[in-house]
Amino acid sequence: MKVLAVMEERGGGWHPASLEALAAAQRLAAVTDGRASAAVLGADPGERAADFARYELERVCAIGHPVLDPYTADAFTAALEQAIGDLRPDYVLFPHTYRTRDFGPKLAARLGRPFVSDVTAFRTEDNGVVFTRPVFQGKFVADVRIAGDAPHFVSVQAGAFRADAVAAGSCAVEEIGVEIPAEAVRTRPGEPFREEAGAVDLTAAERIVAAGRGVKDESDLEMIRKLAEALGAEVAASRPVCDAGWLPLSRQVGSSGQTVAPKLYVAVGISGAIQHLVGMKGSRVIVAINKDPGAPIFEVADYGIVGDLYEVVPALIEALKTG
- The binder of 85, among other proteins, ligand FAD, none, by C-beta within 5 to 8 A per type, is none
Size of the site for ligand FAD (CB under 6 A): 27
x/- track of binding to ligand FAD for residues 298-317 (CB under 6 A): ----------xxx-------
Indicate which single residue of 16, 34, 159, 240 sits in contact with ligand FAD (rule: CB under 6 A).
240
Q: Are strands 152-156 and 35-42 parallel, antiparallel or unpaired?
A: unpaired
DSSP code, position 161: S
> In Å, how far are 119, 286, 298, 305, 306 from 301, measured between CA atoms?
22, 5, 5, 10, 12
> Of ligand FAD, other proteins, none, which one does residue 115 interact with (CB within 5 to 8 Å by kind)?
other proteins
> Cβ closer to ligand FAD: 233 or 267?
267
Residue of 271, 281, 288, 298 that binds ligand FAD (CB under 6 A): 271
Q: What DSSP element (H or E) covers 41?
A: strand 35-42
Strand, helix or coil for residue 208: strand
Footprint (CB under 8 A) of other proteins, residues 303-322: 303-308, 311-312, 314-316, 318-320
Chosen residue from 55, 94, 161, 298 binding other proteins by CB under 8 A: 298
Contact 173, 40 (CB under 8 A): no
Binding segment toward ligand FAD, per CB under 6 A, in 36-44, 145-153, 200-208, 250-258: 250-258
x/- letters, 175..214, toward other proteins (CB under 8 A): -----------xxxxxxxxxx-----------x-----x-
Q: How far is the CB of 190 from ligand FAD (least distance, A)?
A: 20
Task: Select the span of 17-25, 146-154, 187-195, 207-215 touching ligand FAD (CB under 6 A).
Answer: 207-215
Between 47 and 299, name the residue whose CB sits nearer to other proteins: 299
Strand 172-177 relative to strand 152-156, pairing: unpaired
72 lines the binding site for ligand FAD (CB under 6 A): no
For position 113 contacting other proteins by CB under 8 A, the verdict is: yes
Q: Which of 31, 43, 142, 167 binds other proteins (CB under 8 A)?
A: 142
**CA dihedral in degrees (281, 283, 285, 289; nearest 10)?**
-50
Cα distance between residue 230 and residue 223, in whole Å: 11
Residue 257 interacts with ligand FAD (CB under 6 A): yes or no: yes
Distance CA 49, CA 41 (A): 9
Per CB under 8 A, does 116 bind other proteins? yes
- The residue within the footprint of ligand FAD, chosen from 69, 90, 220, 292 (CB under 6 A), is 292
Report CA 66 to chain centroid distance, whole Å: 27
In this structure, the strands spanning 115-119 and 59-64 are unpaired
> Out of 137, 174, 221, 282, which residue is the one contacting other proteins (CB under 8 A)?
137
Q: How many residues does the chain have?
A: 323
276 binds, among ligand FAD, other proteins, none (CB under 5 to 8 A by kind): ligand FAD
Q: Which of 118, 133, 129 is nearest to 151 (CA)?
A: 129
Which of 60-98 are b and which e, b meaning 16 or more Cβ less than 10 Å from the residue's Cβ? Answer: bbbbbbebbeeebbbbbbbbbebbbeebebbbbbbbbbe
Nearest of 196, 204, 209, 205 to residue 238 by alpha carbon:
209
Q: Verify binding: residue 120, ligand FAD, rule CB under 6 A.
A: no
Task: List contacts with ligand FAD (CB under 6 A).
Answer: 137, 212-214, 238-240, 252-257, 269-271, 273, 275-276, 279, 290-292, 295, 308-310
